[in-house]
């Protein structure tokens, strides 16, 4: 069984969902430190002048605050973001066929960032036909340092393979996994096919919303797991 582990992001890019799709279980790892100016509460879209951030405003009361403890500072983003998407994607090929469904995802009352992110991730997975099991890391009571907690998650879930993003090569202790009979595989984000994106030049690492507005129900064909 293959598992992957990552913090939740707000409307993540397509590679995030490709990672989920390649896994049997995806652990939402939000009982770790919230990192400011990261992907936890924001992502980018394409506009006529380049890329633009869509950001959920949050409160950070301490440096040790976890992602799952992080609360939204204002709920105005729920109205602002759909308007921004409408303004920039109204001319996209599949916009009018998917906008009602996409905009319905903004009907969420929680002010907890982790719950908001997971709400979008679950809905996007459903839309893309991804059936991977999602697990909240808090239910696993993970123990140890950064690497030991990842191995602990694999062991508790009965995994024999850990699929990791390539950036973790800088710190991941692969020997520790090997000692626990868990193989490590690295996600390759290269080779995604382009699609009919608004506003050239083409950019891969924008929110998956960009792909959904462009390709609608064909969006899953532009993920590497197909």
| Rounded CA separation 19/3 (Å) | 9
How is the chain split among helix, strand and coil, in percent rounded to 5? 40, 20, 40
User: What's the sign of the alpha-carbon dihedral 6, 13, 131, 174?
Assistant: negative
Give the domain extent around 141. Answer: 2-222
Residue 226 has a pLDDT of 43
Residue 79 has a pLDDT of 97
Residues near 89 by beta carbon (within 8 Å), at least 6 away in sequence: 45, 95, 99, 198, 209, 210, 213
> pTM, whole model, 2 decimals?
0.96
Output phi, psi for 110, to 5 deg: -60, 145
List, for residues 19-60, the tens digit of each pLDDT value.
Answer: 999 999 999 999 999 999 999 999 999 999 999 999 999 999
Residue 225 has a pLDDT of 52
% of the chain with per-residue pLDDT over 90: 96
List, for residues 193-223, the tens digit of each pLDDT value.
Answer: 999 999 999 999 999 999 999 999 999 999 9
Partner residues linked to 13 by β-bridges: 207
- Average pLDDT taken over every residue of the chain: 96
List, for residues 104-124, the tens digit of each pLDDT value.
Answer: 999 999 999 999 999 999 999
Q: Helix (H) and strand (E) counts for the chain? A: 7, 9
pLDDT class of 61 with cuts at 50, 70, 90: confident
Which residues of 7-147 form beta strands (DSSP E)?
Answer: 25-28, 42-47, 50-55, 58-59, 71-72, 133-136
List, for residues 176-191, the tens digit of each pLDDT value.
Answer: 999 999 999 999 999 9
Q: Give the mean model confidence (pLDDT) for residues 143-162.
A: 97
Q: Give the mean model confidence (pLDDT) for residues 141-157.
A: 97
Split into its structural domains, the chain has a count of 1
Q: Are 36 and 197 in contact (CB under 8 A)?
A: no
């Amino acid at each position: 069984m293959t598992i992957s582990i990552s913090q939740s992001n707000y409307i993540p890019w397509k590679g995030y969902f490709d990672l989920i799709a390649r896994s049997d279980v995806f652990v939402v790892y939000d009982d770790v430190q919230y990192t400011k100016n990261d992907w936890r509460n924001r992502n980018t879209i394409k506009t006529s002048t380049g890329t633009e951030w869509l950001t959920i405003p949050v409160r950070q009361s301490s440096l040790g605050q976890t992602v799952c403890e992080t609360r939204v500072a204002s709920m105005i983003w729920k109205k602002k973001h759909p308007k921004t998407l409408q303004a920039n994607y109204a001319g996209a090929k599949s916009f009018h066929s998917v906008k009602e469904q996409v905009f319905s995802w903004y009907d969420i009352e929680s002010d907890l960032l982790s719950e908001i992110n997971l709400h979008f991730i679950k809905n996007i997975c459903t839309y893309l036909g991804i059936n991977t099991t999602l697990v909240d890391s808090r239910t696993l009571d993970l123990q140890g340092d950064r690497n030991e907690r990842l191995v602990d998650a694999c062991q508790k879930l009965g995994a024999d393979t850990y699929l990791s993003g390539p950036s973790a090569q800088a710190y991941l202790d692969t020997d520790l996994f090997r000692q626990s009979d868990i193989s490590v595989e690295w996600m390759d984000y290269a080779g995604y096919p382009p699609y009919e994106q608004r506003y050239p030049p083409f950019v891969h690492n924008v929110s998956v919303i960009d792909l959904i507005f462009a390709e609608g129900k064909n969006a899953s064909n532009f993920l590497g797991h197909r």
